[in-house]
Amino acid sequence: MAHVAIIGSGIIGRSWAIVAARAGLHARLVIRRAEARADVAKAILAAVENATPITPTVVVDEVMKRITFVATPEEAATGAGYVFEAIREDVDEKAALFRVLEGIAPKDAILASSTSSFGASRFASDLQTRSRILVAHPLAPPHLIPATEIVPAPFTALETVETTFELMRALGQKPLLVRREQPGFVMNRMQGALLLEMMRVVEEGLMEPEDVDSIIRDGFGLRWAFLGPFAGIDLNAPGGIADYLKRYGFMFEDLARERGMKTPAVTPSVVAELHEALRAHHPLSEHSNRLAQRDRLMARLRALRRDEGAH
């Protein structure tokens, strides 16, 4: 592929450059102020070095050589095979930038925004080549965290989505399709729901903030480092997730009711969909092997934390 253009040299932009360069692609990163280049280069080098356990065969120097600094979006996007926008969260600035980009980037280059806030409809609706525009929202920093939600606008072409999925996988990322645009997408709703509940516990004076954090860090987080929460409860009942929700669904209903949320929360259709999804990936016959693997992994994670002096 031709080089990847990255507009914005903050945490996300720099990290996208590492993701691309580590996978063998050339990256052109826009740094408007020439005097900032040395600091950005230093930060990128440190980040690449810290990340070597992920790709131990990759040579740091070669990664660094594949990253070029340029002064303007025009220089970055000229001849690019794919464009990542990672400027600040200002819808007008994004609209102006995408207008510039669509005039410069090759016609078959996809333009992807890293925004965490608003869909492409908000800043690309009136562009001529809007079918090649979508949102690819990572968690920071993407060179360490693979989950990336892919949010097409209603006008985004299916081909744009497919090519983005292929690229993300080639880069070692985990693309996750959000089927409809909506504010905040899906990833931030997950963290938001948990943090809201944590703040309620603090507001109610039930527990010290440090201890609330510990519930995740020294509790559920040890499981979730290897298993999603659905897969986690799937292992906590002999008959899997449907069995778990039959036994403990009342806890979720109570919680939803107390919060004024719509009930029932655990509808038959949700249970059926979760059951089907889990069983498609994990037959119940693998249950005990999966539990043993979970436990081995948690033990090794605890050892890692101890070795690094982190709890």
- Least distance CB 159 / a second copy (angstroms): 20
- Of 59-67, 70-78, 127-135, 276-284, which segment contacts a second copy by CB under 8 A? 276-284
Question: Using CB under 8 A, which residues numbered 140 to 159 contact a second copy?
Answer: 140-141, 144-147, 149
Quick one: angle between helices 268-281 and 240-258, nearest 10?
140
Answer yes or no whether residue 121 interacts with a second copy by CB under 8 A.
no
Q: Is 297 in the site for a second copy (CB under 8 A)?
A: yes
Window of 25-33, 91-99, 100-108, 213-221 that interacts with a second copy by CB under 8 A: 213-221
Check residue 198 for interaction with a second copy (CB under 8 A): yes
Cβ atoms 70, 76 nearer than 8 A: yes
Q: Which of 38, 59, 91, 193 binds a second copy (CB under 8 A)?
A: 193
Calculate the dihedral angle through the C-alpha atoms of 97, 101, 102, 108, rounding to the nearest 10 degrees. -140
Query: Applying CB under 8 A, which of residues 209, 239, 283, 289 lies at the interface with a second copy?
Result: 209
303 in contact with a second copy (CB under 8 A): yes
Least distance in Å: CB of 160 to a second copy? 18
CA distances from 266 to 22, 116, 241, 278, 281 (A): 43, 28, 12, 16, 21
Q: Which of residues 11-40 bind a second copy (CB under 8 A)?
A: none
- Least spacing, CB of residue 3 vs a second copy, in Å: 25
Among residues 61, 93, 108, 273, the one that binds a second copy under rule CB under 8 A: 273
**Closer residue to a second copy, CB minimum distance, 38 or 225:** 225
Rounded least distance, CB 273 to a second copy, Å: 6
CB-wise, 56 or 126, nearer to a second copy? 56
> In the set 196, 283, 286, 289, which binds a second copy (CB under 8 A)?
196
Find the shortest distance in angstroms from Cβ 303 to a second copy.
Answer: 4
Strands 133-138 and 110-113: parallel
With contacts defined by CB under 8 A, name the span among 27-35, 90-98, 124-132, 226-234 that binds a second copy: 226-234
Would you count residue 178 as binding a second copy (CB under 8 A)?
yes
**Of the ranges 78-86, 127-135, 155-163, 262-270, which one interacts with a second copy (CB under 8 A)?**
262-270
Give the residues across from 69 on adjacent strands.
Answer: 29
Of positions 78, 226, 243, 279, contacts a second copy by CB under 8 A: 226
Positions in 47-66 near a second copy (CB under 8 A): 47, 50-54, 56
